[in-house]
């Protein structure tokens, strides 16, 4: 059996050793070499052509973000970022995912984590997933990126009109999702007449940074969802890490309003919280208007079971085409249900959403 070859990059000798030991303890993984900084990593990638690289975000000489940019330009290879749980660590990790990193793992107690074995299973699982993306990585990184831009001052995102909510879009995604969302949300027009709920599998501390990055490049308002807030058209709500994103209707005179429930009391579904299935079931039970569901790149089958509930309410469903998925798991499972109305590559999804509205 051919083993998955891994290059470990970290400025800490201790972290290089313990991460290397975790990888080498797996019969189908092997560490082919280690590097102390980004410059060493780039040189060894060219020499060894590893299947996966684990790359520390914060390093001297050439940091992880700068190294990642050069790797993706010159020799694309699946990269797993190792990040701290700090605010700056979250911001840098989200930037890395947008630049092309497949996924990330958070060090449990900072840059030098003596308790790194707490996340052993997570490291191993994500390396194996990342290895399966190597073949398509160069092609996927050629997809046109949404450039950061200054939003027109005429669009006042802080004072959105309180219009009736007649349309609701639910987007579900996992591995590869942050980069995919940067291809979809910024392309939605400023007069978009729908509320948007996003369920991205991501731990606490990272969803707020994701929302802020998307907000900075989008005409729509993008924010981390808050418990009890009213859903309004023209706003995108990101499910908070470790909370299911549910909704609840409330009658106001002759009109019904929809509010967010950020729920940690519901157990994880399939090991996931937030889970797309939970959100879809809640939307089907509580929402009255037009529903559009989008299932994008991700491992597993989250979202597939929930489609039957929203289809009973007349929902239209879009699944991302295999050709642009980092991991073709969730879209494939959705398509196999027979409940998908449109299969579209990533760069066409925003247009398809607008057409369906």
pTM of the model: 0.92
Q: Is 151 a residue whose pLDDT tops 50?
A: no
Per DSSP, the residues of 47-68 read HH--SEEEEESS-SSS-HHHHH
Residue 302 annotated among the catalytic residues of the structure: yes
Exactly one of 84, 174, 262, 350 is catalytic; name it: 174
What CATH architecture does domain 4-140 belong to?
3-Layer(aba) Sandwich (3.40)
Distance of CA 40 to the CA centre of its chain: 29
Give the tens place of pLDDT for each residue, 198-237: 999 999 889 999 999 999 999 999 999 999 999 999 999 9
| Active-site residue identified among 51, 56, 83, 201 | 201
The CATH superfamily holding the domain 157-356 is: Methylesterase CheB, C-terminal domain (3.40.50.180)
pLDDT at 166 over 60: yes
Name the token pair of 336.
Answer: 């196999």
Catalytic one of 91, 103, 277, 302 = 302
Domains in the chain: boundaries: 4-140, 157-356
Digit-coded pLDDT (tens) for 290-335: 999 999 999 999 999 999 999 999 999 999 999 999 999 999 999 9
Please confirm, yes or no, whether 174 is among the known catalytic residues.
yes
């Amino acid at each position: 059996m051919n083993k998955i070859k891994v290059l470990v990059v970290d400025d800490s000798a201790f972290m290089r050793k313990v991460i290397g030991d975790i990888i080498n303890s797996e019969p189908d993984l092997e560490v082919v070499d280690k590097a102390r900084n980004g410059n060493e990593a780039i040189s060894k990638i060219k020499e060894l052509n590893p299947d996966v690289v684990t790359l520390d975000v914060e390093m001297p000489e050439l940091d992880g973000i700068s190294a990642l940019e050069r790797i993706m330009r010159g020799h694309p290879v699946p990269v797993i970022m190792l990040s701290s749980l700090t605010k700056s660590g979250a911001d840098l990790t989200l930037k890395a995912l947008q630049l092309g990193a497949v996924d990330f793992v958070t060090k449990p107690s900072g840059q030098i984590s003596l308790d790194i074995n707490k996340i052993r299973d997570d490291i191993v699982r994500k390396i194996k997933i990342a290895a399966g993306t190597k073949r398509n990585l160069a092609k996927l990184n050629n997809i046109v990126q949404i450039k950061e831009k200054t939003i027109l001052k005429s669009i006042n995102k802080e004072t959105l009109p309180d219009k009736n909510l007649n349309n609701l879009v639910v987007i579900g995604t996992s591995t590869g999702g942050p980069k995919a969302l940067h291809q979809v949300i910024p392309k939605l027009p400023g007069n978009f007449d729908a509320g948007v709920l996003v369920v991205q599998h991501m731990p606490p501390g990272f969803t707020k940074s994701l929302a802020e990055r998307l907000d900075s490049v989008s005409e729509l308002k993008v924010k981390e969802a808050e418990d009890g807030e009213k859903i309004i058209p023209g706003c995108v709500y990101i499910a908070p890490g470790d909370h299911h994103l549910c909704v609840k209707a409330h009658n106001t005179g002759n009109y019904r309003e929809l509010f967010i429930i950020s729920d940690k009391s519901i157990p994880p579904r399939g090991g996931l919280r937030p889970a797309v299935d939970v959100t879809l079931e809640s939307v089907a039970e509580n929402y009255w208007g037009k529903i559009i569901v989008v299932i994008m790149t991700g491992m597993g089958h989250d979202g597939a079971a929930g489609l039957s509930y929203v289809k009973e309410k007349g929902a239209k469903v879009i699944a991302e085409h295999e050709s642009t998925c980092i991991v073709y798991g969730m879209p494939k499972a959705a398509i196999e249900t027979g409940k998908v109305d449109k299969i579209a590559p990533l760069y066409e999804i925003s247009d398809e959403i607008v057409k369906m509205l």
